[in-house]
Amino acid sequence: MADYRQTYQRSISDPEGFWRDAATGVSWHVPPTRILDDSEAPIFRWFPGAELNTCYNALDRHVDGGRAEQPALIHDSPVTGVTRTYSYRELRDRVAVFAGALRRLGVARGDRVVIYMAMVPETVIAMLACARLGAVHSVVFGGFGARELAARIDDARPKVIVAASCGLETGRVIAYQPMLDAALRQAAHSPDHCVLLQRPEQPATLRPGRDLSWADAVAGAQPAECVPVLATDPLYILYTSGTTGRPKGVVRDNGGHAVALRWSMGNIFGVRPGEVFWAASDVGWVVGHSYIVYAPLLTGATTVLYEGRPVGTPDAGAFWRVAAQHRVVSMFTAPTALRAIRREDPDGKHLHGYDLRALRLLFLAGERLDPQTYHWAGDLLGVPVIDNWWQTETGWPIAASPRGVEELPTKPGSPSVPMPGYRVRVVDESGADVPPGVEGAIVLELPLPPGCLPTLWRDDERYVRSYLCTHQGNYLTGDGGRFDADGYLYVLGRTDDVINVAGHRLSTGAMEEVLAAHPAVAECAVIGVHDPLTGQAPRAFVVLKAGADASGLEADLLGRVRAQIGPVAALRRVDVVAALPKTRSGKILRGTMRGIADGTDTPVPSTIEDPAVLEALRPLLR
């Protein structure tokens, strides 16, 4: 591990030198002379005083540098039956015109623009157009409920909202305009204009004086040039759920973000300029921001924007078709997507006929990667499967196997090792480091590396209170885990998923790992529910693979948990269910399930993918 260890150690012992060198991968209007500003610690700023434009780095410099005709963006939409490729020149020109349209509507450097769109090229164009002007975009997942959208409008206070008339899923059309109208009725803030992309599947009815179509907005607009901004100026706000019900606006700056993502694309994901990368995620989530839009384009690679599902568009071979058709070299998705494919096609029959010889690597993140899915994907595809762990707040992986630095061996259940710049610790309740093999809270020593949130939108105090107060000098990730003797990190899930059974602290993730190893189980969830005798008791819910037999399964699963974890696990009930409730990004709603089981008034997140799944589960939870 010499190359990795040397690279990592330098990033820790000489962080300013390390990131000064990494910054040479970015084009600067005013190059950085100072690397880290710690004058307002615990709030830190990277590359103070330097100036750049993120859109220039993502598009214009590649056009000027000889990649004008190279594909920049491939939009693959099985729900519409359309695939469209945009060269770097074409994407630059379309972005410049839409930036001119926004400028004509009064958008200038520092103004906010809320983007409420689907997985269409115009979403990427709108994001980059904001970056071109030095404006701050805030993408809200298309189809978010009116209340959640209104809260984000009031917090960001956008000058303009850019929305699609609808989103498309298999067999249904989701109208966005009614939710946008309802949100604007609820919100205290009113934007000056709303620009609506009229999709033919369900056009919106425009409100005179407020709304204009995308086509009308760009008609006659003059292309806008890139506006230099400070490296410390915000590029975007991405809202994540807050414990008080008020969303937290994670801020991403321009300079640190560009440097970190440019470094990560080659060094973590092993992608070189001109190659094709596919993050099978949604632009509404942090993975979509970082690895559909910004990192591939900052690198000069080709990125795939996929409007479809892992199964059902049209079958469980959809991912393999996309990867083969576009010659994807490195792919990123969530474990839940592979579990859905595995459930429908456990033997991988849908892979036959697709040429995946270009595919070198599969990266998985967003949910805990169980060893069974890890092995299944690796055996099926014949490529390394790289678990990686990070958060909306960090913007890029905290732990992974850095394939562009060294091809480290991977271990099932571990996202491998800390990435350069991240000083990862596992601590006990007093903040003291625990030895390898002992579980504790995962924290990151300050300062966080470039690309991570410097603060929350207009709320430094909440940033400090939410993340920095529990263990002084450290960022609290909210996840628990352990290191092994080789320095590999194991992330066991949110610390609130650790349950206390008769005084014994138990990880529900460890129980899930045992359950998921059963050959009949496609996916599972274990939650801790109130128990009058033991304080808490575990409850398990499993989804079976297609064609699996459930007879005798509960006894078998309970016996496995007892044998591998011990009687202290106290798991006495396993329910077989048709599906588990999830967010649109694939995270299982364990907290919501736990709240229902405990009889608390737990709100159902607006990010839920299919409310009917949760409703079907309620009788079992109560």
- Cis peptide leading into residue 48 (ω within 30°): no
Residue 267 pLDDT > 50: yes
Domain boundary among 437, 452, 481: 481
Q: Are residues 225 and 302 in the same domain?
A: yes
Cβ–Cβ under 8 Å, residues 330 and 353? no
CATH classification of the domain holding 523 = 3.30.300.30
Name which of 87-101, 150-164, 375-389, 583-597 the model is least confident about.
583-597
Residue showing tokens 């849908």: 350
Residue for token pair 């006990």: 428
Cβ atoms of 392 and 241 closer than 8 Å: no
Host domain of residue 577 = 502-621
Q: In whole angstroms, give the CA distance from residue 412 to residue 387.
A: 8
Co-location of 54 and 194 in the same domain: yes
Task: Establish if 327 belongs to a structural domain.
Answer: no
Determine, yes or no, domain membership for 546: yes
**Contact status, residue 521 vs residue 515, Cβ threshold 8 Å:** yes
pLDDT-based confidence at 244, cuts 50/70/90? Answer: very low
CA–CA separation, 523 and 578 (whole Å): 11
* 343, part of any domain: no
Taking the C-alpha atoms of residue 357 and residue 533, their distance in angstroms, rounded to an integer, is: 56
Instruction: Kindly state whether residues 293 and 432 are assigned to the same domain.
Output: yes
SS3 520: coil
Query: Is 215 found in the same domain as 72?
Result: yes
Give the residue from 452, 481, 510 where a domain finishes: 481
The verdict on residue 349 lying in a domain is no
**What's the whole-model pTM score?**
0.86
In one-letter notation, the amino acid at residue 497 is: D
Q: Which domain-ending residue is among 412, 447, 481?
A: 481
When pLDDT is cut at 50, 70 and 90, the band that residue 261 belongs to is very high
Is residue 242 domain-shared with residue 304, that is, in the same domain?
A: yes
Top-confidence residue, 198 or 368: 198
| More reliable by pLDDT, 346 or 562 | 346
pLDDT at 590: 86
Q: Which helix (H) or strand (E) holds 19?
A: helix 15-22
User: Same domain for 463 and 545?
Assistant: no
Q: Is there a contact between 405 and 421 (Cβ–Cβ < 8 Å)?
A: no
CATH number of the domain bearing residue 476: 3.40.50.12780
Q: How far apart are CA 269 and CA 333, in angstroms?
A: 13
Query: What pLDDT, in 10s, does the model give residues 94-150?
Result: 999 999 999 999 999 999 999 999 999 999 999 999 999 999 999 998 877 788 899
Q: Is the pLDDT of residue 369 over 90?
A: no
In a domain, 344, yes or no: no
- Identify the residue whose tokens are 């990867």: 323
Question: Stretch 181-186: mean pLDDT, rounded?
Answer: 94
**Residue 521 belongs to some domain of the structure:** yes
Average pLDDT (45-71) is 98
Residue 463 lies in a domain: yes
Q: Say if residue 473 is in the same domain as residue 510.
A: no
At residue 90, the 3 state secondary structure works out as helix
Same domain, 67 and 148: yes
First-last CA distance in the chain: 50
Is pLDDT at 564 greater than 90 in this prediction? no
Give the burial class of 228: count Cβ atoms within 10 A of its Cβ; 0-12 exposed, 13-18 middle, 19 or more buried.
middle
What digits encode the pLDDT tens for the residues 478-524? Answer: 989 999 999 999 998 776 666 767 555 577 877 888 899 899 999 99
- In the chain, the amino acid numbered 402 is P
Decide if 132 is inside a domain: yes
588: Cβ contacts below 8 Å, ≥ 6 apart: 336, 367, 523, 525, 580, 581, 582
The whole-number average pLDDT for the span 582-591 is: 80
Q: What pLDDT, in 10s, does the model give residues 3-14? A: 999 999 999 999
Answer whether residue 562 shows pLDDT above 60.
Answer: yes
Is the confidence at residue 2, as pLDDT, over 80? no
438, 561: one domain: no
pLDDT at 585 over 80: no
Please count the structural domains in the chain: 2
Work out whether the CA dihedral 122, 127, 132, 135 comes out positive or negative.
Answer: positive
Residue 537 reports pLDDT greater than 90: no
Residue 565 has pLDDT above 90, yes or no: no
- pLDDT score recorded for residue 604: 79
Q: 19 and 161: one domain?
A: yes
Residues 102, 167 share a domain: yes
CA atoms of 221 and 224, how far apart (whole Å): 9
Verify that 277 and 238 share a domain, yes or no: yes
Q: Tell me, what's the pLDDT at 332?
A: 97
Residue 4: φ, ψ to 5°: -65, -50
| C-alpha to C-alpha distance for 96 and 55, rounded to whole angstroms | 10
Percentage, residues of the chain above pLDDT 70: 96
Residue with token string 């209170």 = 465
Confidence of residue 1 (pLDDT cuts 50, 70, 90): very low
Q: Is 17 helix (H, G, I), strand (E, B) or coil?
A: helix
For position 503, what pLDDT does the model report? 52
Average pLDDT over all residues of the chain:
92
- Residue from 210, 108, 211, 113 nearest 156 by CA: 113
Q: Residue 201 burial (CB < 10 Å; 0-12/13-18/19+)?
A: middle
- Checking if the pLDDT of 245 tops 60, the result is no
* Interval 166-194 mean pLDDT: 93
Residues of the chain by 3-state class (helix, strand, coil), percent to 5: 35, 25, 40
Q: What is the pLDDT of residue 172?
A: 87
pLDDT score recorded for residue 311: 93
* 465 C-beta neighbours (distance < 10 Å), count: 12
